[in-house]
Amino acid sequence: MNDTPYIYLLSSATDYKNALDKKTLSRPSLHTEGFIHASPKDQLTRVANKHYPKVEDLLILEVDCNKVEAEIKWEPAADSLYPHIYGELNTDSIVKTLPVFKHDDGLFHISF
């Protein structure tokens, strides 16, 4: 368990809007692995460049852990601990969105 009150997801703006319309966010990994992958703040750059290199309308979704209805477990992955959400994410737990843009080198460099 991590003591941070926030976890983060990356999403295209279109997927985020669709989630808002449904009031829940889901991902294919929920059906294939049993959870939604989330990230600690310090891993967002790595995750964005590895899993979202072609997304042009990328957003960071800041999630308040205290508002998430599904269970969150911090589990090992990629030599670190990552939050996994074991169920759909209720969108009212998303407290902030931030756009992400690639730098001149074609990579994401996320810091906030």
Assigned domain for 112 exists:
no
Do the domain assignments include residue 93?
yes
What average pLDDT does the segment 79-87 reach? 94
Query: Residue 50 is part of which domain span?
Result: 6-99
Report the phi/psi class of residue 106: left, alpha or beta, with left for phi > 0 and alpha for psi in -120 to 50. left
> Does a structural domain hold residue 62?
yes
CATH of the domain at 37: 3.20.170.20
Q: Is residue 109 part of a domain?
A: no
CA 10 to mean position of chain CA atoms = 4
Count of structural domains within the chain: 1
Residue for token digits 């957003």?
59
pLDDT digits (tens, 9 = 90+) for 21-78: 999 999 999 999 999 999 999 999 999 999 999 999 999 999 999 999 999 999 998 8
Does the pLDDT of residue 112 top 90, yes or no? Answer: no
Confidence band for 94, pLDDT divided at 50, 70 and 90: very high
CB 65 within 8 Å of CB 4: yes
Determine the pLDDT at residue 1. Answer: 53
